[in-house]
Chains A and B, each alone.
Chain A
Amino acid sequence: GENVEQHPSTLSVQEGDSAVIKCTYSDSASNYFPWYKQELGKGPQLIIDIRSNVGEKKDQRIAVTLNKTAKHFSLHITETQPEDSAVYFCAAQGPDSWGKFQFGAGTQVVVTP
């Protein structure tokens, strides 16, 4: 089955700097890669996603890149703000997995003013 590894587990950045989180996946048939943001005591919220036929996607200060050959994808947050502090999860979904996601272990991002 699919296995997703996420690094780093914690990330501390100064406000205004960029943050990068990387995930690798094992199943080359995986074709959908969402990123979720989870604030303390709340459920995860989808912030951006990418499908396997696209190499990069941007939405304001966040972007995701996908390298299918190397089987890894990354989340980039530019001009970080204190409200970006949260746990971020990546996930991978295969084509026939009935919508089942395999999640990474999460990255705790702390943005310090």
Chain B
Amino acid sequence: DGGITQSPKYLFRKEGQNVTLSCEQNLNHDAMYWYRQDPGQGLRLIYYSQIVNDFQKGDIAEGYSVSREKKESFPLTVTSAQKNPTAFYLCASRGADKNIQYFGAGTRLSVL
């Protein structure tokens, strides 16, 4: 099946710990995105990547880092500098139709 796979579905972070959220797509899409979703709010862009080995900060990049070493993978690291990491994290990708973004099922991150 083609699509976007996010893992894990649930993740817990201890104080001072870095955690990495996985996002893999087999759609051969060039562009990938990470969003954060908080209750009652819209999706806010953390980072995006238009092409391998290149990525740009979104609106709320502080406390997060990404890499794009392979076309199909765009992992997000939530660092200890992110003081309020509890949220639902969504990964998306965009292909030849330069408008449509396709989303994964999300990772829910909580702080222990």
Contacts and interface: CB of A to CB of B under 8 A. Distances in A.
Contact of B50 (A41, A42, A51, A98): A98
Interface in B24-72: 31, 33, 40-45, 48, 50, 56, 58
A41 B40 contact: no
Contacts of B102: 46
A6 B48 CA distance: 24
Nearest to B41: A105
A34 B42 CA distance: 14
B106 interface: yes
A44 B50 CA distance: 21
23 contacts: A34-B101, A41-B105, A41-B106, A41-B108, A42-B106, A43-B4, A43-B6, A43-B104, A43-B106, A44-B103, A49-B99, A51-B99, A99-B94, A99-B98, A100-B48, A100-B58, A101-B43, A101-B101, A103-B43, A103-B44, A105-B41, A105-B42, A106-B41
Interface residues of A, number: 24
Nearest to B88: A41
